Structure 1
Amino acid sequence: MKRRTKQEWLNLFKQHQESGLSAAEFCRKHQLNAKYFSKRQFDLNWKQSSKTVNQSFVEVKRPEPKVSSSSIQLTVGPIQLNLPTTTDSHWLAGLLKALA
Structure 2
Amino acid sequence: MARQSRQQWQSLIAEFEVSGQTQTEFCKQRNLNPKYFSLKRSKLIVKDVTDVPAFTEVKLEQPRVSYFAIELEFGKVTIKISNSTPVAYLADVIRALV
TM-score (norm 1): 0.44
Larger Cα-atom Rg: 2
